[in-house]
Amino acid sequence: MTKIRCEKVALTATIVLALISSTAVNADVYDDAVAAMARPAEDRARDAGRKPGEILEFFGVSDGQTVVDISSAGGYYTRMVADIVGTDGKVIAQNNARRVDEERMAELVAMYEPYGNVEVDLNPTAQLEMPDNSVDAVLLFLIVHHWHFNAEQGEVVPSNSVANYANVLRMLKPGGTFAIIEHLAPEGLSREASAALHRIPAATAISDITDAGFILSAESDLLANHPEDDITIYWGDQALSGQTQRIVHKYTKAVN
């Protein structure tokens, strides 16, 4: 018995050391993406409150992946993800077609051209036409508070959001990641009240997304430690952009 236990301990130690070594190497990829000189100064100024390297590492974004960045806006995360997934990977930077004119579209295409692995997708909704089971990760950052309430439908998940979640599930590979970051609202707050704050209670987000067929596989408090944020108030009124208490949830598509 002693010999078996010793062998198990030694094996466990080897595995732990291997994981530590692997993490250290992988961490350099995230640090390098954050430190990339191509990133604009205004993006760098937001890093302290967003911790992008740690966030993208938590979500497991890695070399060779296909990643969809929904409502990617000016590309804060898109640029870093493009560096991390590398030449064998691809990033689809989705934006709302109603908010992007031809001039802005040309700017986005030119901005991403040096990366060689970013595709701009304009769509009036999040209904991207990616093939089934083709995407490794979908990023939905600070958007869920727009998806969880519709005044016409009241205190239920809006039907358009149900369709959006179904489409994300469809295009994700089995085991793929649905990455969520959102401004936190007090638990028990109604959909209407939390939407007015541009926030969402964690339990509401979990219920909506797991009911859509996803599995909540991990949570992080990386962006939860902002005690100056009064979560009962609209965060914009507090001039706290990048300094709000936020939920960080990793959902996955079942493998079966």
The candidate with the shortest Cα–Cα distance to 74, out of 44, 30, 49, 104, is 104
Distance of CA 249 to the CA centre of its chain: 8
pLDDT score of 103: 72
Give the separation between CA 246 and CA 199, rounded to whole angstroms: 9
Residue 49: count other Cβ atoms within 10 Å of its Cβ.
15
If one counts the domains in the chain, the total is 1
pLDDT of residue 13: 37
List of E strands, 19-89: 66-70
Chunk the chain into consecutive blocks of 10 residues (it has 256) and report each block's average pLDDT, rounded to whole numbers.
36 38 62 92 90 96 96 91 96 75 77 91 74 96 90 89 94 97 95 94 96 96 88 82 89 93
Q: Residue 86: left if φ>0, alpha if ψ -120 to 50, beta else—which one?
A: left
Strand 90-96 and strand 66-70: pairing?
parallel
Q: What is the CATH number of the domain that holds 122?
A: 3.40.50.150
Domain extent, residue 33, equals 2-252
Give the whole-angstrom CA distance, residue 180 versus residue 58: 11
Indicate the pTM of the whole model. Answer: 0.85
